[in-house]
Amino acid sequence: MKVLRDRVAVITGGGSGLGRELALECARRGMSVALGDVDEAGMEETRHRIQAATQGVACATYALDVSRLPSMEAFADAVMTRFGAVHVLFNNAGVAVNGPLWEYTVADWQWVLGVNLYGVAWGIKAFVPRMLTQGEGHVVNTASAAGWVNAPGSGIYNTSKCGVVAMSETLALDLRDAQATIGVTVVSPAFFPTPIANSGRNRPVELADTAPMSEARRRRSDELQYAVAHGRIPADTIASVTLDAVQADQFYVFPHRAIKDLVRARAEAVQEEQTVFDTLAGR
Ligand SMILES: NC(=O)c1ccc[n+]([C@@H]2O[C@H](COP(=O)([O-])OP(=O)(O)OC[C@H]3O[C@@H](n4cnc5c(N)ncnc54)[C@H](O)[C@@H]3O)[C@@H](O)[C@H]2O)c1
C-alpha cells in the first residue's frame, strides 16, 4: 500500500512498546489510528504522545482482549463505525512466559497461545472480510526471530511465533488464491527494549500464574529481562522499517539482519539431519 496518508491503521497492543511506536509512526505518515489493548492507561499515553507529535491526527482507543473473538469482532465493528474503513491491520499484541516446557501450566499455555496465536487468528477473521469488501488492505503480523529459530526456555512463545509465521505465509497464499489486492507482511525482530519481559502485568486473573517459581524458570526469566533490555535496535526503528515494508508491499521483514544468518544455519542443520539446531552454537 504505497499511499498511507488519510488511511486508517488498526493496532493491537497499541498501549506499549512496539505497538505504541507503530501508532506514532502511522500518525507521522498521516494515518488515522485505532488502538486496541487490555491496557487502557497505556493506550491513553500513546494517544497523548500522538497528539503531542502530530497535528490533527485522529486517534481512538478501544478496550480489547485479542484472545477472545467476540472482543475482536466488537473492536472491528467499533472501528468501522468510527472510521468507515480499515486499511492496515497490525496484529501486534504479544506476551511471553519462560521456563522448561514440562514446567508450564495449562494456564500458561492458554494465556500465551490465546494472545500470540489466537489473537492473530481473530484479527484476521474479524478484519480481512472487511478488507475484501473494500477491495484493498494490508495485514502486518508481528512474529519474532522465535518464529524461525528456537532458543531454550521459551517453548510456548516459540510455538506461538512459529504459528504466526505459518499463518502469515498461508494468509498471503490464500489471498493470492482469492485474487485479492490485500498485502501481507510478517515482521520477525530479535530482542529490542520494551516491557515484554514483564508481560505478567496484563495477565488475566482467571489464567493467573499459580506454579511455584523454580530455579530454571527464574534463570530463564532473568535471561529474557537482560536480553530485551540490551536489544540494540529501538522499537521506533522497527516501526519505521515495518511501515516502509507496508509501502513497498514487502512480505518478510527481519529488522535484525543477523537473524537471517541463523535461519540459513538452521536450514543447513536440517540438511544434515543429525542434531537439533542450537541458536547459540559457535557463539
Ligand atoms: N520486545 C522484544 O524483544 C520482542 C522481540 C520479538 C518480537 N516481539 C513481539 O513484539 C510484539 C509487541 O511486544 P512488545 O515487545 O512491544 O511488548 P509490550 O509488553 O511492550 O507490548 C505488548 C502489548 O500487548 C498488550 N496485550 C497483552 N495482552 C493482550 C490482550 N489479551 N489483548 C490485547 N492486548 C494485549 C499489552 O497490554 C501491551 O500493551 C509482541 O507480539 C512480541 O511478541 C517483541
| Residue 86 is assigned to a structural domain of this protein | yes
| Residue 159 is assigned to a structural domain of this protein | yes
Which CATH number fits the domain that encloses residue 191? 3.40.50.720
Other C-beta atoms closer than 10 Å to the C-beta of 177 total: 8
Q: Are 63 and 202 in contact (CB under 8 A)?
A: no
DSSP element (H, E) containing 186? strand 182-187
Ligand 1 and 123: CB distance under 6 A: no
Sign of the torsion angle spanned by Cα atoms 272, 279, 234, 183: positive
- Nearest CA to 156 among 98, 94, 91, 221? 98
| Residue 156 is assigned to a structural domain of this protein | yes
pLDDT in tens, 135-188: 999 999 999 999 999 999 999 999 999 999 999 999 999 999 999 999 999 999
pTM higher than the cut 0.95: yes
How does residue 203 score in pLDDT terms, banded at 50, 70 and 90?
very high
Count structural domains, the chain.
1
Alpha carbon distances (Å) from 176 to 26, 28, 58, 137:
26, 30, 32, 13
Active-site residue 157, yes or no? yes
| Residue 276 is assigned to a structural domain of this protein | no
- Dist. CA 247 → ligand 1 center (Å): 23
Sign of the torsion angle spanned by Cα atoms 191, 149, 91, 73: negative
| Residue 274 is assigned to a structural domain of this protein | no
Which residue of 20, 40, 89, 202 sits with most ligand 1 atoms within 8 Å of its CB, as the best mutation to test the pocket?
202
Angle 47-51-55 (CA atoms, 0-180°, nearest 5)?
145
Question: Domain span at residue 161?
Answer: 8-258
